[in-house]
Amino acid sequence: MWIPIQTVPRHSTSFDHVQYLDEPPTRPYEVLGIITPPEGEYDTDAEMVRAMRHEGAKHGADAIFIESQSESSGWKFDSGFLGAKGGSTRNVHARAKAIAWK
């Protein structure tokens, strides 16, 4: 999900252009928008970050960084035609900022 902050749209960039930063940068920047990926859609953090970089690229971001992240786990069971199956689940709730350098 994309939540725009910047009112002036920017041209899209390539996925390779969008950097992933481990922490907020010290270099001056402006926030273009907030990216909140759907919970439970990605199997790994790397897949989630990749999807966020793609979303940032659509909106002209130079970089993204995760500003908050939490994790929850539980159990999921399903009984179907071939029997029961299930196991533990891990859901990551993340919120990233898409930014442009000033």
Which residues, at least 6 apart from 16, have a Cβ–Cβ distance to it below 8 Å?
A: none
pTM of the model: 0.77
Structural domain boundaries, residue 83: 2-101
Gap between the Cα atoms of 70 and 73, Å rounded: 10
At 25, is the pLDDT very low, low, confident or very high (cuts 50, 70, 90)? Answer: very high
- What per-residue confidence (pLDDT) applies to 74? 56
End-to-end CA distance of the chain: 24
Question: Phi/psi of residue 55, each to 5°?
Answer: -65, -40
CATH number where 97 lies = 3.30.110
Number of independent structural domains in the chain: 1
Determine contact, residues 27/80, Cβ cutoff 8 Å: no
| For range 69-94, the mean pLDDT | 63
pLDDT of residue 95: 92
- Spatial contact of 29 and 102, defined as CB atoms under 8 Å apart: yes
